[in-house]
A = this chain, B = another copy of it.
Amino acid sequence: MNDTTSRLAGQVRVVGAGLLGASVGLGLRARGVDVLLADASPANLSLAIDYGAGRASTPDADPVLVVVCVPPDLTASVVAAELAAYPNALVTDVASVKAAPLAALQASGADLSRYVGSHPLAGRERGGAISARADLFLGRPWVVCTRPALSRARLSLVESLILDLGATPVEMDTAAHDDAVALVSHTPQIISTLMASRLAGSSDGALGLAGQGVRDVTRIAASEPELWVQILGANAPAVADILRALRDDLDHVLGALGDPEAPGARRALAEQLASGNAGVSRLPGKHGQDRRYAQVVVMVDDRPGELGRLLTEMGEIGVNLEDLRLEHSPGAQIGLAEIAVLPESQKRAIDELSARGWRIAG
């Protein structure tokens, strides 16, 4: 199978043409799949069709797979309706909570042998078909919720969808999924929101001192309230458990800050900070503090083409760039390109770039 052929044989119906639905459509269209789009809003639907995410679904549609991409609150009712309308189709959904829709479906008496819940760990701060892209899921984990009643063939069909979209299938049971996203997605959202809320009433002078730290902590606080109310409401017990443990830690910190000279106060702060060090070091993957890569920091003049010239010359030297971060302060004439390279390439990169006249910082 080459890179542009679909693993899916047959039509795929996508219900809900927002960011996720339109991105699924774009990705499948790129593999030649016949994508049938539906959306409660005719305007959303035509926008997604204009973007090339598929064609309008027709009454004679006979999809092999239905992908429900509607907000969490609507997921169970739309999945039930699709199961009833397309008795030959497997139905999946992409909601970021999985136990609540499953429980609602079980209560509704729907034919759950044809339902597989799933959840792509992908998204953007902005929603809508206008932000959709075929590669939204590229390299991202996509959870497939297993249940004892589900056959391997049915799980495989959803995994074919996931592989078609360039994502990585991860099988988990429903409860494990909801606990995991409570920790790595829902609690960080609330924490970011709580911190950002403190900025709302502050002075411009204080905000003028803001650096990258507070920006990073509060970035996801820009997310859509309407969507997040649904997500948090649907995963409330798991999120509340984590937040209660976090509040206990916060109370210890507040106790220490109440009298920082008291015996044990500094030790309590140090232990909390060390525990944060331990937690963040457990996050896997390729990122800023990744120990697998060495850093080369190059000063780059702020002119068109300069960064391009730098990276072209790195290509000429034969050093692959594993990651790149650009630091560029407002008004500065110079930016810093922080380039991650394999440790064994670091010295050669620095020597050869210096020889070509680049200024290496740090």
Contacts and interface: CB of A to CB of B under 8 A. Distances in A.
Nearest to A227: B273
A43 interface: no
Interface string A234-257: 101101101111110111011001
A190 to B, nearest CB: 6
A277 B221 contact: yes
A176 interface: yes
A180 B205 CA distance: 8
Contact of A308 (B214, B310, B332): B310
A332 B250 contact: no
A308 B314 CA distance: 8
Interface residues on A, range: 35 or more
A284 B198 CA distance: 15
Contacts of A200: 275-276, 278-279, 282
Nearest to A307: B311
Interface in A250-268: 250-251, 253-254, 257-258, 260-261, 265-266
Interface string A189-226: 11111111111101111111111011111111111011
Interface of A: 121-123, 125, 131-135, 138-141, 143, 166, 168, 170, 172, 176, 179-181, 183-185, 187-200, 202-211, 213-223, 225-226, 228-229, 232-234, 236-237, 239-240, 242-247, 249-251, 253-254, 257-258, 260-261, 265-266, 269-270, 272-289, 297, 299, 302-316, 318-326, 328-332, 334, 336, 361-362
